[in-house]
């Protein structure tokens, strides 16, 4: 993705936040170290020096972030600001055509929680997620999940449904967080101080841990729903719009857990 060319970094020139100081050249030998240093500095500067919840950065920044494993850099900065109990939130199931949307909230023991294996759930195999989820639950201070059914998504819409699931997860925590970090969701609000972070599950260990719990929990729900609705193969595709899923809908029609507000479902019903 990043070779010897500096062309992808031309967008930093004249950037109101970065300026020309950050216009530099990466090559295959220096990229890992340079990316790590640059990414950590930029994230801390961007997120904590600006009043806006999220600052629009060049897309290349998020490509840099994609190289990194999540850390406690954000959480440690928040601890320096006087907060101790920090909840990470992430969701699973925005895109599927069927089944619930699930959000997980987790409060980690920042001083004692260590794991080199925790990462954005999308970067992990199902086997690795299934091993990490119970381990995270056993080694965190608190965790909870919030669900929004397909029927609620049809009523609320996906965006509000996502926010509702996240708030339900926070409300179910046994310990009240002092600060919340969540993967980016537009126009969300909490009574607790919070930050929404673009690509948060790739940056924050708290959000990454929540992403794993949410994904494994939802996959388990879809396994159970596959037994209730055996004609659709939910245990295989988890409700996503795969070729198999489309074929099953065309053959059998929709079932009660399909999201009827989704355009592909409307189209397949015609």
Rounded to an integer, the average pLDDT of 39-55 is 45
Whether the per-residue pLDDT at 190 is higher than 80: the answer is yes
Looking at residue 241, what is its pLDDT? 95
Looking at residue 138, what is its pLDDT? 96
Looking at residue 40, what is its pLDDT? 56
User: How far from the centroid of its chain's Cα atoms is residue 225's Cα?
Assistant: 23
Whether the per-residue pLDDT at 38 is higher than 80: the answer is no
Share of the chain above pLDDT 90, in %: 67
- Nearest 5 degrees, angle CA 225-CA 215-CA 95? 75
Q: How far is CA 199 from CA 5, 119, 126, 211, in A?
A: 25, 12, 20, 11
- Residues present in the chain in total: 270
pLDDT digit string, tens, across residues 103-129: 999 999 999 998 889 999 999 999 999
DSSP state of 173: -
Tell which CATH architecture fits domain 73-223: 2-Layer Sandwich (3.30)
3-state secondary structure of 268: helix
* Helices 126-139 & 205-228 angle (0-180, nearest 10): 120
Looking at residue 33, what is its pLDDT? 54
DSSP state of 251: H
Looking at residue 1, what is its pLDDT? 33
Looking at residue 239, what is its pLDDT? 97
Domain boundaries along the sequence of the chain: 7-67, 73-223
Report the relative pairing of strands 140-148 and 179-183 from DSSP bridges: unpaired
Q: Report residue 244's pLDDT band, with 50, 70 and 90 as the boundaries.
A: very high
Share of the chain above pLDDT 70, in %: 75
- How far apart (Å, rounded) are the C-alpha atoms in residues 116 and 87? 20
């Amino acid at each position: 993705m990043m070779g010897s060319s500096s062309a992808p970094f031309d967008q930093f020139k004249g950037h109101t936040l970065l300026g020309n100081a950050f216009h530099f050249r990466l090559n295959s030998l220096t990229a890992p170290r340079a990316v790590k240093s640059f990414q950590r500095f930029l994230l801390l500067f961007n997120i904590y020096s600006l009043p806006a919840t999220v600052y629009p950065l060049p897309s290349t920044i998020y490509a840099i972030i994609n190289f990194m494993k999540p850390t406690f850099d954000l959480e440690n900065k928040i601890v320096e600001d006087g907060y101790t109990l920090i909840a990470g939130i992430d969701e699973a199931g925005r895109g599927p055509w069927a089944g619930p949307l699930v959000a997980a909230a987790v409060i980690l023991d920042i001083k004692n929680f260590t794991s080199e294996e925790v990462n954005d759930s999308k970067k992990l195999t199902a086997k690795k997620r299934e091993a990490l989820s119970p381990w995270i639950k056993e080694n965190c201070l608190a965790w909870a999940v919030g669900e929004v059914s397909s029927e609620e998504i049809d009523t609320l819409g996906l965006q509000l449904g996502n926010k509702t699931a996240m708030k339900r997860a926070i409300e179910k925590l046994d310990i009240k967080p002092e600060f919340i970090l969540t993967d980016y969701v537009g126009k969300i609000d909490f009574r607790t101080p919070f930050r929404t972070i673009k690509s948060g599950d790739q940056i924050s260990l708290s959000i990454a841990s929540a992403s794993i719990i949410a994904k494994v929990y939802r996959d388990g729900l879809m396994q159970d729903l596959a037994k209730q609705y055996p004609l659709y193969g939910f245990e295989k595709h988890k409700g996503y719009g795969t070729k198999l899923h489309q074929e099953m809908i065309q053959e059998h029609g929709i079932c009660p857990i399909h999201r009827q507000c989704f355009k592909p479902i409307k189209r397949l019903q015609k």
